[in-house]
Structures are given as structure tokens and as C-alpha cells.
Structure 1
Amino acid sequence: MAMLIESLEIQNFRLFRHVKLNKLSPMMVVVGGNGTGKSTLFDVFNFLKDALTQNVATAVHRRGGFKELVSRGERGPITLTVKFRESGGRLATYVLKIANENGKPVVEREILKFRRGNLGKPWHFIDFSRGQGTAITNEVAYGVEGAIEERKEYVLDDPSILAIKGLGQFREFRIVADFRSLIENWYISDFHIAEARPSIDAGEAEHLSSRGDNVAQVAYYLYEHHPAQFTKILEAMKARVPGVTDVEAKPTEDGRLVLRFQDGSFKDPFIARYVSDGTIKMFAYLVMLFDPKPFPLLAIEEPENQLYPDLMIELLEEFRSYSDRGGQVFISTHSPDLVNACKPDEVFWLVKENGFTDIRRASDDPLLNSLFEQGDLLGALWKQGLFTGAHPR
């Protein structure tokens, strides 16, 4: 099920007392000063994924408990509303409300509804509160002219378990299961260069882990099963990292894999622990971006770290190409060079006022739009202070 996030509404989640992002493009780049909430915005995706793969109580406790997660001065509920648009045109809305009940986080309300077209009446495929609710049992009839939804009541084992997790395990709830799979396959990067350097147990891995510790296994998998994609990675590395002519994931005698980088100036290759941070990071990003099966959502914080500024425009084009293949991309950055490669509808900035954060979009600002159309680059306009409220005071 190919779906893109069309809008995101956040209420009472830390710095975001109430913000809404509408008409999101396939690629979104967020800028803002330290402490304005860039990491918090990205944690919304991580929170939803944690709540699904574990449960709401665990996701809340991992963030210090309900009192630390809810916006200051607010009692809740914490509400996240995500609207997705299928390639076929159907609009899906997922609403999750989390309350604090007797000191324990519970799902106050969870709704997954679909509608066809802008005027069609939505079908609530699930509608749950505190571990019990109803679900549609005749999914196959959805979209059929004159069809009426049929519902049945269900009870979950725990009021902090999401219904999309509980019911998404069963075949009769195909749409719920597809939606569950969509969120489970979000990729929120927590890349650590130190973990990408050591040798690793031999074997294959189809996708890069969030921490990047299996990059050698993924490189080996691509080399063996997707040689055309691996060749593209090598060509991109040659263009972006001076001297690199080849990269291989080499099995060792003790049954491990090491990454080896060949520099054209030297006879013997360098193993990963001896090459620069930027080289390792660029290779890991390319392995991720040339994945034959893009993640439905890719969230990356500050990809510019350890990379040469002149590479930012090319790297952003790789992210944009990834989004064109079906994986929606969210990026936070402090790099004007990266923002220089963006369009107004792709750039958002965070403004913190009176302890809470608001989100603004470059395409909504008439002056920025006019200057961009005249040839100015958005990163340069940001440095000039024209992103009102984006600079620390």
C-alpha cells in the first residue's frame, strides 16, 4: 500500500501544544535554532512506531513518563492525527489520543478511517477507547456502490495496546494490517559512525538498520542480489569522495565481514576503521538511498554532519530521487548549503514563542516565494534572517 503523509497534527506533545502541517510534499526539510523542537518533531514518528511495535505505556515511559511528555501546563490528552493519501486517491486518517489514567498511560481514543474522494463518507475501520471498541468486518465491500459497513465489538488485552497492532495480526483485517505494516516499516535514523566501522558477523541484511551497524551486511547483500544498484552506489562514491575507486564487503577467515575501501593512489585497500567519518557516512547513506525497496518514510536528522559542504546539493538530490521512488523523506538540518537545493514547498522552519513551538512553511511566505522566483536560494535567504523567528535571539 503506497501512501504518503498528507498532513500531521500534533497536540500537547512536549513543545508542540498545537501545530498542524498541511499538504506535505514527498520531501520535507526542517530548520530552526537549537531547542526549538526539531528532534521532538522527528520523535513523533518514533513515538508512533514505538507505541505500535511495543505499546503506548512503554513508548511514554521511554520518554520520561506522561508528565514529561505532555506539554507544560496541559493535562492532555496527547493527540496525534496523521492523514495519508494513497496513490489511488483514498484518504486515510489515523487519530491517536493518549491520556493519563490513575498514573498509567492509556489509549483514550484510536480511530482509523478511510474515505474515497473529497466528499465520500468515511468508514471507521477501527474505533477504540481504553482497550475496547469496534472494527469493520466486511472490508472487501469498501468502495462498492451502496455498501454498508458491518461492525463487531472487540476487547484487547491491555488499554495501552493499539488496535492496529491487535487486530492487524488477522487476515480479515487486511486494511488495518496494511496500515500497521506501513508504520512498522518507517525508518528513523539513529546513525552512529562508530558502529558502522567494526567487522560484523558474516551474512546478509536487506535493509540498513537505524544505527547503521549492519552496513557491511547490506553492502554484501546488494552486491550479491542487486548488482545494478551496487554499481550505482560505487559510481556515486567515486563522484563524491576523492580517490575512492571501489568498495567491497570482504569475508574474513574467522567468519566476519569487513568493509574495504580502495583508494586509486594505493595498492592495498583501507578497511573501514581507517577511513574518514565522512567516507563511512556517505557510503552508509548511499546504501540506504539505493535500497531496491524504499522505506515508506525516511527520517534523517542533520545529514550534513561529517560531510563536506559542497556535497549537500548532490546529497539532497539523492534524497529527492528516493522520494520520487516512493519513500517520503523528512530531514532536519543546520546546513544552508543543503537548504539551497530545496524548493519553497519543501522547507519548514520552527519558531519558539512563550515556551511553545510553531511551524512555518517557506511557500506560505510571499516575500520568500518572490525572492526564490527571482533566483535567490533559500539557504542564503535563511542566513540573511528572512526566515522570521528562525534565528536564536
Structure 2
Amino acid sequence: MRPTDISISNYRSIRRLFMSIQPLSVFVGENGVGKSNLYKSLSLLRDAATGRITRTISDEGGLNSVFWSGDRRRGSDALLRLAVRFDHVRYSIELGFPSPVSAAFPGEPMIKSEKIEATHGKRTVVMMERTNSLVSVRGENGAWSQHKDAVLPSETALAGLSDGKGSPEIDLIRNAMLSWRFYHDFRTDPASPIRKPCLAITTPSMSADGHDLAAVLATLFTIRQDAGDLQDAIEDAFPGAELRAWEKNGLCEFQLQQADMPRPFRAHELSDGTLKYLCLLAVFMGYRLPPFIALNEPETSLHPSLLAPLARLIVKASSRADIWIVTHSEHLMEALRNEGSVPLRRVIKAKGATTIEGLTHSGEFRDETYRENEDDDED
């Protein structure tokens, strides 16, 4: 299942935002407008599927740190709300502070409610509803079952209730969100695991930290036995270069032969920018891509000459996966614009709140509305 829209309320600089998700979404903005919060809010939703959402919030300084940073009206509720829709199924979660009688540590973020709703035609049916510690699940026969204290205030029902027979929608949403991949940055220092051989395990898509980069590349060379597209992408970025990856004694390694170098360089010898670009190649050209990929400022550490090849990588990969890019690089934005009708969105601040130019209250963008109206006129 692919995500079709998201809703965010009271998260950092985002007061309230609802938007549809396209196969390729690119958001550009200056420093400080809150564009990274778009990326982080999606990552938080995935943490709901793993059951780590309250721990992630605590790691970031607690609910006070991640809650809406603007002015609050007296009497307004202090709830962080996140929601995502997958075609006909929607998941939502609300988090807040513990009440005086709650079984929680002071200041600990608590899950106040969760809900899964399924839409059939014009009819919407609640399939799972959680209020504090009480979780109610609608079975396949339509009957409700209640689970008192099945999960702690710090645990999500989405992760805790794994009996798909009771409500298959829970498993559908959890598995869909667990398949999302987020790439924020790749360590390229001398001690980085990316610079070392990794275990020879068939690896269809790269992990978030890139430690299995060599295995992803070797999977293409050895398991699929077809790295033609990968070599074409190498030629596009580094003219005259050749990449090789292999398995030996249970480990995977790779090397890059540059046209102006007398010998090939292995991972521990490559420059930071070159190694970072090889990581992006693995993200977008793996044996099997995750259905949803989000990247935060992928252009960091790259030479400007690599931005056009990167744009071509991104556009080509968007035919295999939904891709969400957050960047502050106008050069990357221009390179993507040159690749065709890529929807480029500018992130701004309006009255202290992060928003996106052209975004309407219905979650669509004005240019899309105009395009639909033009199509209707032609019909």
C-alpha cells in the first residue's frame, strides 16, 4: 500500500498541515523555515509502527521540545496529532502529557488515542480505536473486542496488537509503514562502517545508515548478475569510471576505478563526496526499492557537478517507489526542473508556522487545481 495523504498538527513549527502525497515530492526552503520537520514527522509515523514513537520524542527532549513552538491559545489542547491514509485505510495517533493519575513518569509523552478507519464507498468504518489504555478492535465479523491494559501508555496499539486475524487492517498499515525508508545522512569518516567490508547477505535495499552498501552493490553484480543500469549511472556521474562489487570469504566489498586514476580505489580510500554519491546510487538503484523513500538534504557534501546526475537518478527511481525529498539546494531544484514535470514545492513560514506555497486546505496544490480545471474545460 502506498501513502496517499498525511496530516500533521502541533509538531514543532507545523501548526496544522494536510497534504496529498505524490509519486515524487520535492520540498525546497531556506534554513529555519521548518522543512526538516516535514521529514521528521513522517519518520515519527514510522516509529508508531515500530512502537518507538514515545522513545523518539523523549530522545529529542520530550513533548515540550517537539510540541508546536508558536503561540498557544488559552484552553487549546496540548496534543500532537499525526495521521496517514493508504488509499481506503487511515491511521491516526494523538500524543499528550500524562495526567496526575497516569501510570507514567512526569513529563513522559503518552499515547492518548489511536484509530484505524476503513472507507468503503461513502461509508467510513472504525476498525480499531484506542483511548488511553483501552483498545477496541472490530473483527472480520463486525463484532467488537476490547483489550484493557493491552498496551502501556508509552506503547502503540499499532505495534502491540499483532494478531492479524482480529483486524487485518492493523497488520496492513503496520507492515506498510515498516517498509518506509528514511535517509538523513551517511557517515563517511574513517571509522564509518560504510568504508568497511560487510557480511555477504543478499540485500535488496540499503539500510538507513548505509552499513550494508557493499552488500547492496554486490547483490546487483552477483545475485541479479546485471549491473548495466548501475554502470550507466556511474558513467553519468563519473565519466570513464567503472564500479565493481563482489563477495569473498563471506564478505562483500567494492571498488571504483576512476578514468584519471592509475588504480581502482576501495571504500576506505574514496573521497567523502564520492562515497556519499555511491550511497545514493544504492538507495535509488537497489535490487528492490522500498515503496516509500524519504531523504533529507541528499545534496550535502556533493560536488555541484553531481546534482544533475542525482536529479536523473531521483526521477528514474520515482517510477519504482514514492520519493519524498527535502532540500535547501536551489541547484538541485533547478536540475530536477530540467528533468521534466517534477512537482517542486517551496516551504515557507507564514505567521510563524511552516507551510507550503500553493497548498490549499483540502490538501491539494493550486497548480494541480488549475490543471484539473483546464482538463475539464478541454473535455
Q: Which TM bucket (shorter chain)?
A: 0.7 to 0.9
Report which structure shows greater RCO (CA 8 Å, sep ≥6).
2
Distance 1:125 1:292 in 2: 35
Paired with 1:32 and 1:344, the residues of 2 have a C-alpha distance of 19
Alignment partner of 1:188 out of 182, 186, 193? 182
The DSSP-based 3-state class of the residue aligned with 1:324 is coil
Distance 2:9 2:296 in 1: 22
Distance 1:303 1:290, change over 3 A: same
Quote the residue 1:226 is aligned against. Answer: 224
Q: What does residue 54 of structure 1 align with?
A: 51
Secondary structure, counterpart of 2:201 in structure 1: coil
- Which residue in the other structure is 1:160 paired with? 154
Q: Tell me, which stretches of 5 or more residues in structure 2 are unaligned? A: 100-106, 372-379
- Shift of the alpha carbon at 1:130? 1.1
Per the alignment, residue 291 of structure 1 pairs with 286
SS in 1 for 2:280: helix
SS state at 1:122 partner: strand
1:75-114 superposed matches below 5 A: 75-85=77-87, 91-102=88-99, 103-114=107-118
2:215 pairs with one of 204, 214, 217:
217
Q: Which residue of 1 aligns with 2:301?
A: 306
Tell me the TM-score normalized by structure 1: 0.80
2:353 matched to which residue of 1? Answer: 356
Q: CA deviation at 1:297?
A: 1.4
Residue 48 to residue 123, structure 1, CA distance change in 2 (3 Å): same
State which of 276, 283, 292 in structure 2 corresponds to 1:281: 276
Aligned residue for 1:281, secondary structure, equals helix
What is the distance in 2 between the residues matched to 1:170 and 1:16?
Answer: 34
The 8 Å contact of residues 254 and 267 in structure 2, kept in 1 or not, is answered as yes
**Partners of 1:286 and 1:191 in 2: CA distance:** 14
CA contact (8 A) 1:249 1:257 kept: yes
- TM, length-normalised to structure 2: 0.83
* Counterparts in 2 of 1:131 and 1:108: CA distance versus 1, 3 Å: same
Segments of structure 1 that go 5 or more residues without pairing to the other structure are 86-90, 142-148, 371-393
Residue 12 of structure 2: aligned partner: 14
SS of match in other structure, 1:159:
coil
Alpha-carbon shift at residue 150 of structure 1 (Å): 2.2
Supply the AA of the counterpart residue of 2:290: F
Cα displacement (A) at 1:79: 0.7
Identity %: 21
Please identify, of 32-41 and 243-252, the stretch whose mean Cα deviation from structure 2 is larger.
Answer: 243-252
CA contact (8 A) 1:168 1:180 kept: no
Asked if the contact 1:199/1:257 (under 8 Å) is kept, the reply is no
Aligned residues: 346
The 1:37–1:96 alpha-carbon spacing in structure 2 relative to 1, beyond 3 Å, is: same
Retained in 2: the 8 A contact 1:191–1:212? no
CA change 1:365–1:128 in 2 (3 A) is closer
SS in 2 for 1:160: coil
CA contact (8 A) 1:127 1:133 kept: yes
1:85-107: CA deviation from partner (whole Å, max 9, x where unpaired): 2xxxxx22211111111333222
- Does the 8 A contact of 1:187 with 1:210 survive in 2? yes
